[in-house]
Amino acid sequence: MCKIICKYSKTGYLKYISHLDVLRFIQRSVKRAGIKAKYSEGFNPHMKTSFGYPLSLGIESIGEYFELELNENIEPELFKDKMNSVMPKEMQIIKADYSNDAESLMK
C-alpha cells in the first residue's frame, strides 16, 4: 500500500473541462489502467484522491497535482506509463513519485 503524488498537464481542448470533470477523468483513467486504488470504507465508497486547487476554466497548465492512495505497491514510473497509455496527449502525467505522509499537497 502506498501513496503516489503526480504532476500532470492539461492543455489543448481539455482546458475547457471543469475541475470536477478532471477529477472524474483521472479516476476513470486509474480504473482503465488497471491500477488498484484504495477506496473509502463508508456507505458510498469513493477513490481516495486529493487534488490541488482548481484551475480556472479555459486555462492551460503543465503543473497541476493530485495524490492517490493505492492498494498495491507500484513503481512511480510504471504508474506514469500505465496512466499515460490510457489518457489523451492533452492530459498527461509528467512526473510521479511516492508521497510522504507528512507532506500536504497544498503547501
Domain boundaries, the chain: 2-98
pLDDT for 51: 93
Under the phi-then-psi rule, with left for phi > 0, alpha for psi from -120 to 50, and beta for the rest, what region is 25? Answer: alpha
Cell 513503481: give the residue: 75
Q: CA 18, 51, 12 angle in degrees (round to 5)?
A: 40
pTM of the shown model: 0.87
Task: Indicate if the pLDDT at residue 105 is higher than 70.
Answer: no
pLDDT for 103: 63
Q: What is the CATH number of domain 2-98?
A: 3.30.70.580
CA dihedral 73, 47, 53, 91 (to 10 degrees): 70
